[in-house]
Amino acid sequence: MAVLVLGGAGYIGSHTVYELIDSGEDVVIADNLQTGHLEAVHPKARFYKGDIRDKEFLDKLFKDENIDSVIHFAANSLVGESMVDPLKYYDNNLYGTMVLLKSMVENGIDKIVFSSTAATYGEPESIPILESDRTEPTNTYGETKLSMEKMFKWVSKAHGLRYVSLRYFNACGAHISGEIGEAHNPESHLIPIILQVPNEQRKEVGIFGDDYNTKDGTCVRDYIHVTDLAQAHILAVKYLRAGNESNIFNLGNGVGFTVKEVIECARKVTGHKIPAVISPRRAGDPAVLIASSEKAKKILGWKPEHDSLEEIIETAWKWHKNHPKGFQK
């Protein structure tokens, strides 16, 4: 039986496919290639181009392939974009998930692991953030992910499907082989933006605000290697296969770094000066986001392996240095 990875040509999806195949799983990928890349598709996975909002496409996939469980990455995930085009997020993330669930229920597929986010919490009530903390998203992206979690809850009660929701903190880094990595267009994430400077694609990094209540005034985030995130998905599939109940887990390293610390670390890794300038705060950025991942460690047996920021940036640099245009030739 195969694992179906929706969005398996995207950043976290493609890394998860690599780990699944390494662990001996049979993998089927579906991706509409809106933000994913064909070049990121693992050669041993069976690829179908299609959209999760297309129920006929999904129904056919579930009939043609022998699917045991689904891992669902197929969503839009840019906070800024979600504020200017909220309906795009309701359409792809929420409506898309509704169509997917309909098809899963009708085709008797009863296990799903899906991407959620630290953005479901909004402004945290305390640090580190626990799964039981208040969820009050401050942007449309986080709101659609929280609504997806709730949709799973009610559908699971009615139809017996079981799910694991994984709330990622700041995904970063690249596959150790250097074959796949992060490639967004336009890029908005801190580490790839920083690395555009030594790659001679930009002159400096803008630091979005230095007047936050943190040790150096810049925002603190919990950076987690994409391969560690990928491993958590495999553990979550095993957890559901073992018959366990639906659950929600945070995934982070439990350690926060300021924007200035990340830039300093990138200077060390690349040997480049990486000039930085202070620019205005970015709307909707909480000052500090750090996960408690004790629950994932205890229940899933998850253990991040690439937990030093230096190692994370080294893997990202290896990828970006050799692929300055991402997957484009």
Residues that bind ligand UFG (CB under 6 A): 77, 79, 117-119, 141, 170, 188-190, 193, 205-208, 219, 221, 259, 282, 285, 289
CA distance 216 to 205: 17
For the CB of residue 209, give the shortest distance to ligand UFG in the complex, in Å: 7
Instruction: Examine the residue annotation and report whether 163 is marked as an active-site residue of this protein.
Output: no
For the CB of residue 74, give the shortest distance to ligand UFG in the complex, in Å: 14
178 Cα distance to chain centroid: 19
Among 89, 141, 168, 212, the active-site one is: 141
* Closest C-alpha among 18, 24, 1, 60 to residue 9: 18
Q: Which two tokens stand for residue 134?
A: 């208040």
Instruction: Name the residue nearer to ligand UFG (CB basis): 18 or 223.
Output: 223
Cis peptide before 43 (omega within 30 of 0): no
Instruction: Name the residue nearer to ligand UFG (CB basis): 110 or 285.
Output: 285
Instruction: Name the residue nearer to ligand UFG (CB basis): 52 or 205.
Output: 205
CB atoms within 10 A of CB 208: 17
Amino acid at 166: L
For the CB of residue 215, give the shortest distance to ligand UFG in the complex, in Å: 14
Q: Where are the beta strands (DSSP E) in 158-251?
A: 162-168, 170-172, 205-208, 220-221, 223-225, 247-251
For the CB of residue 55, give the shortest distance to ligand UFG in the complex, in Å: 27
Instruction: Name the residue nearer to ligand UFG (CB basis): 259 or 266.
Output: 259
Instruction: Name the residue nearer to ligand UFG (CB basis): 50 or 256.
Output: 256
The DSSP output letter for 179 is S
For the CB of residue 241, give the shortest distance to ligand UFG in the complex, in Å: 28
* Closest C-alpha among 66, 64, 55, 71 to residue 103: 55
CB atoms within 10 A of CB 310: 10
**What residue is closest to ligand UFG based on CB?**
219
Annotated catalytic sites, by residue?
141
